[in-house]
Amino acid sequence: MKLVLTTLALGSILVFSGCTPATHSAQSVGQIEQVHYGRVVSVRGVTVSDSGAGTLGGAVLGGLAGSAIGSGRGNTLAIVGGALAGGAVGNQMNQSAGQELTILLESGEEIVTVVNNKNTAFSFRTGDEVALRIRNGQITAINVR
């Protein structure tokens, strides 16, 4: 019986999740986005790192963990070592794979941008036809056509 109920619940979620409208912030109401079409002419794998928050957070946590070890000079060394190790781990955790795309727009203009593949398994390929949504000089979305 539990299997039937679970199957029905999951099926309902899948059916109705397609009906969920896109959510926009109040600031986006009335904003204009331009759509440009183009073709990806080159793709290069890159590493995308955060603003340093992961490194700082890791260093703080590592230092706190190190403060619980030893006393006197040993404690100081443990704090420094913990901060260094935590910072290194935090830095690695906040890096993700990305792609640098060179796109030839239909207008003849060539642009270069970086996309983060952190939340998706999708990767762009050379030759992909794309649509770019641009607002105030910022790309808000790149979709394969």
Residue 131 belongs to a domain with what CATH number? 2.40.50.100
The pLDDT value given to residue 47: 84
The tokens of 86 are what? Answer: 């935590």
Count of domains observed in the chain: 2
Mind listing the pLDDT tens digit for each residue in 13-57? Answer: 444 444 556 787 787 788 888 999 999 999 998 888 765 566 666
84 in the same domain as 117 = no
102 in the same domain as 123 = yes
99 in the same domain as 43 = yes
Burial 70-83, CB ≥16 within 10 A → b, else e: eeeeeeeebbeebb
- The continuous run of DSSP H or E covering 38 comes out as strand 34-49
pLDDT at 9 over 70: no
Instruction: Provide the whole-model pTM.
Output: 0.55
Domain hosting 78: range is 53-93
Please state the φ and ψ torsions of residue 69, each to the nearest 5 degrees.
-105, 130
The pLDDT value given to residue 24: 74
pLDDT at 82 over 80: no
127 in the same domain as 101 = yes
